[in-house]
Structure 1
């Protein structure tokens, strides 16, 4: 009878970060994990609902947030209702300038573009926003430059992209 499951589980022992000999490693069995290698390819249709305007406006190089008419909170990414008082929000365009609040280098790349470059994500405090926006940081040079308070600006893609969030990213403003 032919194998019904092509991809089989394998037991892998992850390396000891302290590089101890196996006999001196009390955590060895906790780093023994089962893995299965699978290639998954699929397409899906995702309704954006009340967030549609945000994604549509990206094609026009506009960063749209929402503002609460009661408390004045400006939500970026936008929210259909204010998280503070549950009032329906209004649309507001924000400038593409802000400061870096945090950044991290990711161990993966964006799957939509198939890129091989390291991915750096940053939380950006856009001028006029009450919240932070998580987005790619590019063209920063030395990673030590990515410090809290670094002025950044939105930069827009010139060619076609696979997902609306790939239409823009942030770079140091200077």
Structure 2
């Protein structure tokens, strides 16, 4: 007996950008398993409202971002808590961003300078119009309440 089989079809179509060669748009989604490895304490700190940097146990260099090994001398590093207050070292206004930031555009990215720390920290500045931002502007770290264990869990506001 010959049975007729047919796959179910949907009503959505395909967006073509070109026909020779065919270039089409389609959505692709995948789940990733990602490890922060030795940087995990930094993200745990964010979830607890703490901003952690690392300092070299050999030469004393202090980094505003996680480092397992000193970039200056190659020595081992340990965690320390950064101050919540810093100042804008430099900034840029972004008029386009990744999918997570499209609703916020334009937004301001800043490099934050902390007293006694040798490197800078990249973050978003919230609560100031682009024309209000200036080099040396005092800023304060704030944290989202429901941590996503991502770098975007921390942001800065004008002080």
TM-score, length of structure 2 as denominator length: 0.78
- CA-CA distance at 1:165 after TM superposition: 2.1
Between 1 and 2, higher relative CO (CA 8 Å, sep ≥ 6) is seen in 2
Task: Give the whole-Å Cα distance in 2 for the aligned partners of 1:38 and 1:96.
Answer: 43
How far off its partner does 1:115 sit? Answer: 5.5
For the pair 1:40 / 2:48, whether they are aligned, the reply is no
TM-score under structure 1 length normalisation = 0.72
Alignment correspondent of 2:134: 147
Residue number in structure 1 paired with 2:59: 71
1:93 aligns with 2:101: no
Q: CA RMSD in A?
A: 2.4
Match of 1:167 in 2: 153
5+ long unaligned stretches in structure 1: 1-5, 12-34
Equivalent-residue separation in structure 2 for 1:53 and 1:171 (angstroms): 24
Pairing 1:157–2:144 present: yes
In the alignment, the residues of structure 2 paired with residue 36 and residue 161 of structure 1 have an alpha-carbon distance, to the nearest angstrom, of 36
* Alignment correspondent of 2:40: 52
Contact 2:43–2:149 (Cα < 8 Å) also in 1: no
Separation of aligned partners in 1, 2:24 and 2:93 = 26
1:128 Cα offset (Å): 2.8
Aligned length: 143
In 2, Cα distance between equivalents of 1:40 and 1:146:
38
1:25 paired residue number: none
The 4+ residue runs of structure 1 with deviation greater than 4 A are 6-9
**Residues 132 and 38 of structure 1, relative CA distance in 2, 3 Å threshold:** farther
**More off after superposition, 36-45 vs 131-140:** 36-45
Match of 1:82 among 70, 74, 97: 70
The answer on whether the counterparts of 2:61 and 2:118 sit within 8 Å (CA) in structure 1 is: yes
